Amino acid sequence: SQKIEQNSEALNIQEGKTATLTCNYTNYSPAYLQWYRQDPGRGPVFLLLIRENEKEKRKERLKVTFDTTLKQSLFHITASQPADSATYLCALQTGANNLFFGTGTRLTVIP
Amino acid sequence: DADVTQTPRNRITKTGKRIMLECSQTKGHDRMYWYRQDPGLGLRLIYYSFDVKDINKGEISDGYSVSRQAQAKFSLSLESAIPNQTALYFCATSDPTSGSIETQYFGPGTRLLVL
């Protein structure tokens, strides 16, 4: 069966450290992989997209990697800040153009 | 979030009642989606519409129906609500002019409780 797993339901890190979130998938062949941020009581907000033929993408303090052999994406937040505390969702897009979402990882950055 | 609005934001209803959740968008996007979010299950697609005349079932459409009244409006109905439809419901839009990339823009959500 198709499955998208995000490494842990919750992750706590100290301010200033790098947070690394993992998204693993099985039985998908995604053309794109996206990361979204969701704050409590709000809808998800798009952060970054990486294509299947790209290894790495960066945006300010964010970095995403995509390994189609391992079927895994890593999402890094460097120099983390308490304002980065949120739930982060990965989403796979297949050729059918719909998105399939993981369950999310709740990140807490401790001052 | 202001570009995609959902009403109501919170709703409590009783088993067997018919309710409608509404979504409006000012982004000018053709594609609209309804998802539900449950703890531990993530976002799951209920229905989607690629234009006014196009309606498609998603992963979990049973017990739900939709109406695309205009490009900007997409409504979700629960014909006879049941307690396991208690969830957070999101509407989303996307822009096909961006090519094949499906970046989606979400509304603020409707929290539904079915007693």
| Chain A neighbors of B103, CB-CB under 8 A | 34, 46, 49
Q: Are B1 and B107 in contact (CB under 8 A)?
A: yes
- Which residues of chain A does B102 touch, with a Cβ-Cβ cutoff of 8 Å? 32, 93, 97-99
% of residues, chain A, pLDDT over 90 = 70
Question: CA–CA separation, B61 vs A9, rounded Å?
Answer: 27
CA distance A6 to chain B (A): 11
pLDDT of residue A41: 87
As a whole number, mean pLDDT of residues B38-53 equals 90
Beta strands of chain B (E only): which ranges? 4-7, 10-13, 19-25, 31-38, 42-51, 54-57, 64-70, 73-78, 87-94, 104-106, 110-114
Q: In which band, very low, low, confident or very high, does the pLDDT at A29 lie, cut at 50, 70 and 90?
A: confident
CA separation for the pair A47, B98 (Å, rounded): 16
B54 versus A9: the higher-pLDDT residue is B54
Q: What is the mean pLDDT of residues B67-94?
A: 96
In angstroms, the CA A62 to CA A27 distance is: 27
Q: Is the pLDDT of residue A63 over 90?
A: yes
Residues 6+ apart with CB under 8 A from B39: none
Average pLDDT over residues A40-57: 92
Instruction: Give which of B103, B105, B110, B111 to mutate to test A binding, by max A Cβ within 10 Å.
Output: B103
Decide which of A12 and A9 is more confident: A12
Q: How far apart are CA B97 and CA A59, in angstroms?
A: 23
